[in-house]
Structures are given as structure tokens and as C-alpha cells.
Amino acid sequence: MSKLRNLYSMAADIYNAERLRSESTLSEQSMERLTMLRIRTVYECGREMKTSEFVKDTKLLQYIKGVGNNRESFLQLFHYMEALVAYHRYYFHEKEA
């Protein structure tokens, strides 16, 4: 869960920079951050098998790569990640109870 939340936090930084903009493409700084998010995702997958399985099952890495420089695609990715965090929290909280 903490690895997923760290990735989500990186995406939230990009989202906060992009949500008030009206351009159709991501800013250069956001593109750099998106690249770092992709690299960090791969890194976390290499560190832990559960993370790798989760990223593979959710196709998260494919979606990150698919954003390109399209701002709307990134916003959709962010909301998808938000839903993944909420689902993961709910699902595992239910298992522990």
C-alpha cells in the first residue's frame, strides 16, 4: 500500500500543476515528472513481486506510457490511480477486519 501511495503522491504533484491549466498538452515540467513516475514505477516493480503483479494486473505502466504529452489523458490516468488507491484501501481493510 505504501508503494502505491508513493506513486499516487507523485501523480498528485503533476495533477496539482496541471488541473488549472487549459492547454491540451502537459507542461515540460509535468512531462519530466511523468517520466520520473514511470521510472519509479518500474523501480518499485523490480524491488517487490507483489508490486510488480499489481502494476501488471492494473496495466498501470501501460497507461502511464500511453499518456504521452496529452493533458486530458494524464487527468484520466490520475483519476484511475485515485480509484486504485481507494479500491486497494477498501479491499485490504476488509480482509484485515
User: pLDDT tens-digit profile of 21-74?
Assistant: 999 999 999 999 999 999 999 999 999 999 999 999 999 999 999 999 999 999
Whether 67 contacts 73, CB under 8 Å:
yes
Torsion of CA 31, 37, 43, 44, to 10 degrees: -170
- The single residue listed with the C-alpha cell 477486519 is 97
pTM over 0.75: yes
Q: DSSP 3-state assignment of 25?
A: strand
Residue 94 pLDDT grade (very low, low, confident, very high; cuts 50, 70, 90): low
Residue 90 pLDDT grade (very low, low, confident, very high; cuts 50, 70, 90): confident
Q: Is the pLDDT of residue 14 over 70?
A: yes
27 Cβ contact list (under 8 Å, min separation 6): 17, 18, 21
Query: Which cell is 47 given?
Result: 524491488
